[in-house]
Structure 1
């Protein structure tokens, strides 16, 4: 059976106009795994409130980071796909969970090339309801409805994979080698606290307190909070960081429900007020730079840091299409190709 690869990232509006941003946000926020409330409440919130106010604001943010050749997330993901294709002997397609580059189109591209076994690679190091899970669920729905003879196997969360940690650590070290920073902040995309509890397969372990993430449990296989903290721990260990020179925070919260803490913006503010003059920030929940890294962190985060007295604010780029990351993906693909899909 012919094998193929489908890499899937988050997605992007087709353009940074309010109209296209509204279409994109509508699909994104109506996903029951993103805003996990009953349909009537989600519809009221998204279509009745958010889509009447947020698109113009978000469009302005997208306009600040939009490149001449398109959305940074799309451009960088396409570059990654092309580089990976050069390293493997199997057709590689790219899709997005939201937007016009659909998973159905990606699978169709592979099927048109005769592919019958697909290695699905969600481009997220950590598992979360609103990222990996929603990709896997939709991919299976599309497969069952349109490509019933295709078999799909997915790449599990790779947050604690030793090779990945090495690639990430080396990238951070490379970008900070000439920087005299006092504190390194690991900023991850936030999720509501209830997502953590919903993903707890033990139904009892996750307390979101100071101990559960460090206490071994089967729940960690699907615990986004644990997996984020573990990336920080493993990278800090790899780079020999002193305990008081790094920390973890969460960004991009929405609404009034409690989200994972500490919040990135408040952490940046606290560090600046504390007297930190030179800080660096890395965003390991993303493998490709996007709105959340280029605008929320590199622009808004830096502005906030300067407002509270900070001087040097260094943003570490995502892995994007760096060759070591490309090589690692190619290695995982070749390893998968040696074994049959169990589906």
Structure 2
């Protein structure tokens, strides 16, 4: 019997600093998030970050926390419930970090008689620290606890026509009554070394402004290329004029080079360039979370206006948008009935 496991990033169980610390430890000790030798990763995470970051992060989570719980978890549950109601196979939900776990998601599917699972990492673009870590952990859990199961993985859908359409139309709908002069596509940041480590050709990715526009097998796993391609295709769909939109990367940790331009610096520079009315899109996420709601919706908005900006419009993620639900449900049913290759 076939079934589906939707997997998102995850969230602390509460805004209590102890729960936030537990979540951050699981997240930051992942060797695909901080890809350093274990001893060094342990020193950085447990010796430094976990002694300072949890209280600050807990305060940030408190700003966005809903009565029902973590926005990311609540929105992911809504997505799961709506997709499950539309599809012909069972659909379970899991988080890479925190709860519900991937193990519990697979256990739920097993209890329904499922032995063939479609894994859907809820990330449009492939990255070591997102898609890859989900697939690796899921396979480890399968081998140890569910050897009878078979997995099929949905590839990155950053350029899938269905995804581009629903994303673009969602942007269009959310901005139709808004006054804006420029659109910023802000993606989650990753270290430059992650891009090079994911290069299956071992030679193509140079992050030099040309490699992402030059055809290569490396693009199948190149987060930077996939982000720029999502921007390009959405801009083309919306008929945005050249110069009226920008791609940037938010969030960074440590002193190693991360993908640029940085979102915060980009946003803060707009007012002095005469851009006073800004729309921001976050296409690396399908569900709103701390990075979209607090980092962009609160902190970036405040900085933009402090620097002379006038209007700041954050476009929500796809979340449980009906068009997105229908697309995801159709992908699942096509796989379930073998009408396409997932």
Shift of 1:340: 9.9
Shift of 1:100: 2.5
On the 8 A contact 1:153/1:341 being kept in 2, the answer is no
2:149 is aligned to 150
| SS of residue paired to 2:257 | coil
1:119 is aligned to 118
Mapping for residues 47-196 of structure 1, pairs under 5 Å: 47-196=46-195
C-alpha distance in 2 between matches for 1:37 and 1:131 = 16
C-alpha distance in 1 between matches for 2:194 and 2:55 = 28
C-alpha distance in 1 between matches for 2:199 and 2:334 = 30
1:203 is aligned to 202
C-alpha distance in 2 between matches for 1:205 and 1:129 = 17
C-alpha distance in 2 between matches for 1:263 and 1:105 = 37
C-alpha distance in 1 between matches for 2:335 and 2:107 = 21
* Unmatched segments (≥5 aa) in structure 1: none
1:244 is aligned to 243
| SS of residue paired to 1:186 | strand
Measured at CA, do residues 319 and 133 of structure 1 come closer, stay the same or move farther in structure 2, by a change above 3 Å?
same
C-alpha distance in 2 between matches for 1:172 and 1:209 = 30
What whole-Å deviation, never above 9, does each CA across 1:107-151 have from its counterpart, x for those lacking one? 000001100100110000000000000000000000000000000
On the 8 A contact 1:151/1:341 being kept in 2, the answer is no
Scaled by the length of structure 1, what TM-score is found? Answer: 0.98
Shift of 1:229: 0.2
On the 8 A contact 1:275/1:309 being kept in 2, the answer is no
C-alpha distance in 2 between matches for 1:126 and 1:261 = 17
Question: How many residues get paired?
Answer: 341
| SS of residue paired to 1:96 | strand
Measured at CA, do residues 341 and 32 of structure 1 come closer, stay the same or move farther in structure 2, by a change above 3 Å?
farther
On the 8 A contact 1:160/1:231 being kept in 2, the answer is yes
On the 8 A contact 2:65/2:71 being kept in 1, the answer is yes
Mapping for residues 276-295 of structure 1, pairs under 5 Å: 276-295=275-294
Scaled by the length of structure 2, what TM-score is found? Answer: 0.99
Shift of 1:245: 0.5
C-alpha distance in 2 between matches for 1:193 and 1:6 = 30
C-alpha distance in 1 between matches for 2:257 and 2:215 = 25
C-alpha distance in 2 between matches for 1:84 and 1:227 = 26
| SS of residue paired to 2:243 | helix
* Unmatched segments (≥5 aa) in structure 2: none
1:227 is aligned to 226
2:297 is aligned to 298
C-alpha distance in 1 between matches for 2:200 and 2:227 = 18
1:9 is aligned to 8
Shift of 1:274: 1.3
C-alpha distance in 1 between matches for 2:105 and 2:162 = 27
| SS of residue paired to 1:253 | coil
Mapping for residues 259-270 of structure 1, pairs under 5 Å: 259-270=258-269
On the 8 A contact 1:76/1:320 being kept in 2, the answer is yes
What whole-Å deviation, never above 9, does each CA across 1:239-276 have from its counterpart, x for those lacking one? 00011110000001111111000000000011122121
On the 8 A contact 2:334/2:340 being kept in 1, the answer is no
C-alpha distance in 1 between matches for 2:119 and 2:32 = 19
